[in-house]
Structure 1
Amino acid sequence: MKEGNPNKRRASIMKFFRELPSQDDDGQVLPISGLWNTAMAHPNDPEFIELGIFECMSALIWKGLKNRRWLSHDQNIYIPYYAAHIIGSYTMNMEDFAETAVNAGVIPPLVELLRGRLTWVEQRVAVRALGHLATYASTFPAVSSHGEILELCIQLAMSSLEIVYSHFYQYADRRLSYHCDLLTRGMGGVEMESRKAEEWASQLQSGIGLLRTICHHKFGRGPVSSCPGVIESLCNIARSSDDWQYMAIDCLLWLLQDPNTFHKVIEKAAPAVLDLAEIQTLGDHKKLGDSILNVLQESINSTGNRNSISNRTQEDIESLLDSRERFKWEKSMPKEDLHIKQAAALVVKLEGNSLFSSGNIQAAALKYSEALSLCPVRSKKERVVLYSNRAQCYLLLQQPLTAISDATRALCLHNPVNRHAKSLWRRAQAYDMIGLAKESLLDAILFINECSNSMDPDLNCRQNKVPDYAERLVKKQMKAAWLFREAAVKHGGIDCEEGGGGGGGGGGDGDEK
């Protein structure tokens, strides 16, 4: 590396990469660790790519898989992990590097690591590297040609938490020392190891990023559409405060646009995307609601698709499309007429508030529905209140799925998106009622943040800090949403506590004002 002559330097590095896999000297982990640091610091540097680093790393992984005597000698146990991580780093940003890696034959040894031929630590870096290779159009076919990769990723998504918990987290005194070193880089004790193990276990689940990559390509959409649990999870993330909400929406739209997967997902996906059709901007996604409506319109206009749609779903889609036409029609409507419609909607809403206050919740919900039919589509603030109030009715009527739908619509209409405090709280309680702890937790945390910044005296919690009812729900869901909870219950790490009902109290009035 210190050679000043460029030609000699290239020749010596190339020779090093070519000969390293066949050597059995002690201390091999030191140069590999150095390469790992270099790859992390300079993943776009082409020098080593041209000199055979991928062939070298691939050969080292194979050596670790086939020669257990060598693997257990000295500190060689670290080498397959470092080798797979180096492949992942150099293929993270550059498509031409990824093409070189595929041509160098990195996929087969990575698949063997993914199968669990070594340990969960190596599985994690195999998932990382294969995920990067799957992001490029030129290398995705090479990944997809190994049909077992998607199946293995799905299996890992279901079992990885139990694997990491039982093989590492549960018993601190039985942890493999090289796992501890890799997790903490020698810094920190048991607590740091446990914290990093949670983080790595989450990454080992593949996550929605890899799922989005798979759904982006037609080769991947078929297997994904055949997994009802995956589709249900995508719908839950799409209607949540998760940072990756937009990725879930992308996946659902691609599955709906594909005629080969449409019929498998429409009945599960339609309710979720219908609730999201009012979103205008979500991160870098502009006019997202229009994109959703266009996909749904194309789907019901297709003769082949119509036979796959239930009457209920078709009616819901057509109703939403009618509201878009209503919006266009309202643009040309005289202002006086719009004001009359707004006034009529307000009168009906007040009737609903009165019914709610008197305890007639079912009748109040019907009044809010009537007010929504009268309220101009362009009157977004008023519609936010109506949807949110109706969501509260459905909560009290023990209809959590309908409450989630209405609260989501209110959050999509609100400006900024996903920041309407009362709707966040109502959806948090609804998710709690159906046992979705993570989604409930995310909404409850955002609700607390919005309360802290609100000028509404009913919501402002600067003096009281956090509302007691919200704090109770957050604490409950943090326990329930703990990454290793199910694994810990199964393996006797904790007693299975009974889950309580909703978060209770707070923000439960029938109106916003």
Structure 2
Amino acid sequence: MDFMSKKEKEHGGCTTQFCFFCAMKEPDSFKRRATLATCFKQMPLRDDQENVLVLSSLWHIAMTHPDDQEFPNLGIFECMARLIHKGIKDQSSRWLQKHQNIYIPYYAAHVIGSYTMNRVEFAKIAAESGVIPPLLELLRGKMSWVEQRVAVRALGHLASYEKTFKLVADYEEEMVRLAMELASTCVNVVYASFVGVTDKSKRLKYHCDLVTRGIGGLEMENSKAEEWASQLQCWSLYILNCFACKQRPLALKLICKQEFLRELCGMWGGLLANQASPAGIGLIRILCYSKYGRRKVAESKEVIERLCNLSRSSDDWQYMGIDCLLLLLKDADTRYNVIDISALFLIDLVELRSLGDHRSNLGETIAKTLLFDYKQRKSNKNEALEELWSLIERSKKERVLLSGEIWEERRVLVDLIKQEANHLFCEGEVEEALIKYSEALALCPIRLRKERMVLYSNRAQCQLLLRDPDSAIRDTTRALCLSSPANSHGKSLWRRSQAYDMKGLTRESLMDCVMFINGCIKSEKSSQRVKIPYYAARMISKQMDATWIFATARSTMATSQVKKVQESEGNKGNNEGGNHNQQENHDEMMKILMENKGLSTILEEPLMHNMVKEGSSTAYCSRRKQERTRRM
């Protein structure tokens, strides 16, 4: 919208002294700057209807030209700070309800954040202009989560610069506590106060207008609110990152509380929003660079297990999980707290050559770290370390003993055993096939990476059918480490996705399934229409619903509604009609859960669930045909 044109149409000619829009049209730069400086001083003192238009225009300019130094040098930061303070101070009066002034604190905080995100000199001017106290008031929740979002963004930018960090650190304890609380609760707050409110008339109008810029229906509002909730959580974590990077004792002590560390593992930010933000794992990684942080992380078995699962996933932040474990293993004070658990996971990664652009020779680094003091502590048996040591010794012997002719004979023999295993598998003899694949792996030279990749992946399929997801995850991970590039073997990705699904690790299952589908799309580039496998689409639907950023909040709200129904029915019922009331309660519970998507509309079951030792492949195919026929 052209705000100056709108103003001219409404008023015809402007008679307002020190008018922002008139100043912007002033051709004389000296007069324009003088008028704008006066305008910024006078704006917080006025009660004009024009203020909202001015703030909206300033927001647009700050977003599109954040490096322009004109407004920051003319007092815009002091003006924005005073407007925020006025909005907070006058909440009990009618100022916020007049002339759409309710929008002003949001726009003012957004302007501060936009001008300070790139330029340290602007951040210094802003901090010295007194923006921190009013922003902190918004962070305390003096208005709503919408204003908290832009306040935490602006404070995060101020905390990221060395020259302004000291001014932010004056409020260290309170700011860290508020950021921790916001990161932990903001998703539930946004869902309860906005997304979960299905009756649009009950949502705050100015929230709806800000989220969608005044256009769009219920679906767009929900989508943008999801994005904003994710940003709110990630920017709260960013402030904590700024304090953790400085290794400030007070901040580390607050952040490293065990309950909060466990919560960090689940702070993901969703699949689509904030793809560049490492979210909770990024903060855990920063903590692992300090001695105190490593000690506190190592004390939590749950956090270590989450890091281990991340290290064996196709998540973009896989390397961060590996880094955290390596940092803990290299510290003598934490090594023996985590090695028994982490070795079981990291051993599957020792043949990983590289991981994208992040690391080269990563597997070698993992192996050296795990075996750092293996010989000195050989009396303390660790099966994973013994297996790793045997693998390294075997590789050395093969390089010395296997000539070209022997190597070729071994390859042919392995291929024959693999074909025998494939035949057994097709006949439904899954256990026998697994034994044969293991025999082939034992004979297959280490240097035959592609052949070993296929053998590991095929053996994992047998383990899936035998309901052994842990072994399937180990073998598919090893196959994916042998693939080139890493994590690119489609069959292994899909099989590991199923295995993770069996264990209830929804996020890991989702990421593997996404990678699998990406591989399907790349392999069908030549065709006009890309076909996504039906079974993969079902898995994606299931896991995206389970990993939705509001999934926990939705479940909590549904549970509370169920309790209310039960309490209501309990007060009405009596012992005589107990069974009837119980059935009604159950029906009502199911209705509420389905309305709130508390239950998946597709009751997914692992695709290979029925094909175990007792059934043949023919019977399995027959059942699948029956299922397809029933759905048609």
Please confirm whether the aligned pair reaches a TM-score higher than 0.5, indicating the same fold. yes
Per-residue CA deviations over 1:234-292 (Å, capped at 9, x if unaligned) read 554444344454555555555666677767766665555544444444443241xx246
Residue 56 of structure 2 is matched in structure 1 by: 33
Per-residue CA deviations over 1:151-196 (Å, capped at 9, x if unaligned) read 5445444433322222111222211111101110011112211221
Residue number among 369, 389, 401 corresponding to 2:470 in the alignment: 401
Equivalent-residue separation in structure 1 for 2:469 and 2:153 (angstroms): 37
Residue 294 in 1 paired to residue 365 in 2? yes
Matches within 5 A, 1:80-479: 80-98=105-123, 101-102=126-127, 106-133=131-158, 146-147=172-173, 149=175, 152-171=178-197, 172-206=200-234, 207=269, 208-211=277-280, 214=283, 215-216=285-286, 218=289, 221=293, 232-246=305-319, 248-249=321-322, 271-287=344-360, 290-291=361-362, 293-294=364-365, 297-298=368-369, 301=372, 316=384, 319-320=387-388, 323=391, 334-350=403-419, 352-354=421-423, 356-357=425-426, 359=428, 361-362=430-431, 364-451=433-520, 453-454=522-523, 465-479=531-545
- Alignment CA distance shift 1:491-1:47 (3 Å): same
Equivalent-residue separation in structure 2 for 1:42 and 1:229 (angstroms): 45
Aligned-residue offset at 1:403: 2.1
Q: SS where residue 491 of structure 1 aligns?
A: helix
Q: SS where residue 118 of structure 1 aligns?
A: coil
Residue 622 of structure 2 is matched in structure 1 by: none
- Alignment CA distance shift 1:50-1:320 (3 Å): farther
TM-score, normalised via structure 1 length: 0.78
Q: SS where residue 205 of structure 1 aligns?
A: helix
C-alpha contact (below 8 Å) 2:538/2:604 kept by paired residues: no
Residue 497 in 1 paired to residue 566 in 2? no
C-alpha contact (below 8 Å) 1:90/1:97 kept by paired residues: yes
- Alignment CA distance shift 1:300-1:334 (3 Å): closer
- Alignment CA distance shift 1:298-1:231 (3 Å): closer
Residue number among 86, 95, 100 corresponding to 1:75 in the alignment: 100
Aligned-residue offset at 1:210: 4.4
Equivalent-residue separation in structure 1 for 2:57 and 2:319 (angstroms): 37
User: Which residue identity is paired with 1:485?
Assistant: A
Equivalent-residue separation in structure 2 for 1:373 and 1:137 (angstroms): 56
Unaligned runs of at least 5 residues, structure 1: none
- Alignment CA distance shift 1:194-1:48 (3 Å): same
- Alignment CA distance shift 1:407-1:299 (3 Å): closer
C-alpha contact (below 8 Å) 2:493/2:513 kept by paired residues: yes
Equivalent-residue separation in structure 1 for 2:541 and 2:416 (angstroms): 40
Equivalent-residue separation in structure 1 for 2:127 and 2:76 (angstroms): 12
- Alignment CA distance shift 1:234-1:196 (3 Å): farther
Q: SS where residue 462 of structure 2 aligns?
A: helix
C-alpha contact (below 8 Å) 1:87/1:129 kept by paired residues: yes
C-alpha contact (below 8 Å) 1:212/1:251 kept by paired residues: no
Aligned-residue offset at 1:334: 4.3
Aligned-residue offset at 1:24: 4.4
C-alpha contact (below 8 Å) 1:221/1:255 kept by paired residues: no
C-alpha contact (below 8 Å) 2:367/2:388 kept by paired residues: no
Moved more, 339-348 or 414-423: 339-348
User: Which residue identity is paired with 2:221?
Assistant: E
C-alpha contact (below 8 Å) 2:464/2:608 kept by paired residues: no
Equivalent-residue separation in structure 2 for 1:310 and 1:10 (angstroms): 78
C-alpha contact (below 8 Å) 1:212/1:250 kept by paired residues: no
C-alpha contact (below 8 Å) 2:311/2:322 kept by paired residues: yes
- Alignment CA distance shift 1:136-1:266 (3 Å): farther
Unaligned runs of at least 5 residues, structure 2: 1-23, 235-268, 270-276, 559-591, 618-632
Identity %: 49
User: Which residue identity is paired with 1:489?
Assistant: S
- Alignment CA distance shift 1:54-1:463 (3 Å): closer
Residue 487 of structure 1 is matched in structure 2 by: 553
TM-score, normalised via structure 2 length: 0.65
Q: SS where residue 196 of structure 1 aligns?
A: helix
Aligned-residue offset at 1:399: 2.6
User: Which residue identity is paired with 2:357?
Assistant: D
Equivalent-residue separation in structure 1 for 2:332 and 2:36 (angstroms): 51
C-alpha contact (below 8 Å) 2:110/2:150 kept by paired residues: yes
Q: SS where residue 494 of structure 1 aligns?
A: helix
C-alpha contact (below 8 Å) 1:425/1:444 kept by paired residues: yes
User: Which residue identity is paired with 2:207?
Assistant: H
Per-residue CA deviations over 1:333-376 (Å, capped at 9, x if unaligned) read 64445435544544554454455455554554455445444433
C-alpha contact (below 8 Å) 1:384/1:409 kept by paired residues: yes
Query: Aligned Cα RMSD in Å?
Result: 4.4
- Alignment CA distance shift 1:183-1:463 (3 Å): closer
Between the two proteins, the alignment pairs up a number of residues equal to: 500
C-alpha contact (below 8 Å) 1:473/1:503 kept by paired residues: no
Moved more, 278-287 or 350-359: 350-359
Per-residue CA deviations over 1:268-320 (Å, capped at 9, x if unaligned) read 65555544444444443241xx24643663576489xx99x9967x6535754
Aligned-residue offset at 1:41: 1.2
Using CA pairs below 8 Å that are at least 6 residues apart, which structure has the higher relative contact order?
Answer: 1
User: Which residue identity is paired with 2:102?
Assistant: I
